[in-house]
Structure 1
């Protein structure tokens, strides 16, 4: 059996960016848009929640932990279904499929970001906080100007690891027919019918290159930190 590269070349633009000329991004481009957008949202929400959990160690932290464990205990595909089918009902209007997937991925990942960030804050020596308090800084000032800047370099590789997971998790948008990379690959496969191996090997290589690039970046940052 020979590998037919022509099927990839003939469908390359569709696999890379979908129907972008018609204003409908897809393929690799939509995969990256969804991964980056959900990653930014998850980072913002997760860091804020981690700061709240650090600042209020009583019942607010317990509530946040219960929320995070609930989200992490649900299959991501179920969260995507919730967003895709319930958001139009709640809002009373149609919601673009990619947006529902972005929000589902961000919601799901923000719980992991919260735990990662809080662990980074708690790993810092207690003397950092005590010294800042002695200088007259408030709790929120300590977080903003002392603890977060020191914790971020330590947890940045973990953030990139979550981003790698997000890139792979975007493939679950296939289940609601959002035209990301896996979906358009399946569409091409259904049209070509006899070149499944070529198509899905190529898609696997694309996912590998995207994830490996981010993993290499995380390793570079981690090494740079130790030097």
Structure 2
């Protein structure tokens, strides 16, 4: 039988090994979410612009990245960009750029669905008031689209947080890396991976409950 011993998991261990990784995982999630939503919204507007010279590049970008495993994209950015620029990015910066660029493809599809969920009458009303396409999107359509898609955007962000564990491939010090280092130092890898799984579950489950409550509130507003 496997004998488990969690006695080594003291406050000092958590603050020395785990806290640093947890902070970076949250930072990576937040930056990639904000950057991904901003870039994804731009891509969604390009795909809905009705102009081929904007639609085709945006569609190619989205479909290409959605067809490639994230870990491969992480490795591409980490290995190829230094070869092209002649200077290393570092694991943390490379991870931030990669996740922002990659998640934008998924946020783009969510935003496109959100924009399309807004009644065309709202768009025509904006035009009738003398608004331009940009003003109509900025003042009328996008605020409603964000409200409609907010639960889905947050759900994708939860998935993004889970995916941050993949940065182990380039040696970035995330939450999982912190547990791995602690496990190696105290020769308790099984225990640390079990605790890591529990912590990931607790964080993601708590966020899922918040998303569910938000969905109910939005349903009441509608």
Provide the TM-score with structure 1 as the length reference: 0.90
Is 1:53 the counterpart of 2:47? The answer is yes
Could you report, residue by residue, the CA deviation over 1:17-65 in whole angstroms, capped at 9, with x for unpaired residues? 2xxxxxxxx3111111111111111111111211222223534213311
Equivalents in 2 of 1:62, 1:218: separation in Å? 33
Is 1:179 the counterpart of 2:173? The answer is yes
Q: What RMSD in Å do the two structures reach over aligned CA positions? A: 1.6
Report what 1:156 is aligned to: 150
Report what 2:138 is aligned to: 144
Equivalents in 1 of 2:32, 2:146: separation in Å? 19
Mean alpha-carbon deviation: is it higher for 90-99 or for 148-157?
90-99
Equivalents in 2 of 1:59, 1:186: separation in Å? 47
Report what 1:108 is aligned to: 102
Is 1:14 the counterpart of 2:7? The answer is no
- Answer whether contact 1:7 1:198 (CA < 8 A) is retained: no
| Distance apart, 1:215 and its partner CA | 1.4
Report what 1:168 is aligned to: 162
Could you report, residue by residue, the CA deviation over 1:169-192 in whole angstroms, capped at 9, with x for unpaired residues? 111111111111111222222222
Q: Specify every segment of 5 or more residues in structure 1 that has no aligned partner in the other structure, as ranges.
A: 18-25
| Distance apart, 1:7 and its partner CA | 1.9
Which of 192, 210, 218 is matched with 1:217 structurally? 210
- Deviation beyond 4 Å, 4+ runs, structure 1: none
Specify the SS of the correspondent of 2:48: helix
How many residues are aligned here? 218
Provide the TM-score with structure 2 as the length reference: 0.92
- Answer whether contact 1:55 1:139 (CA < 8 A) is retained: no
Which of 187, 192, 196 is matched with 2:189 structurally? 196
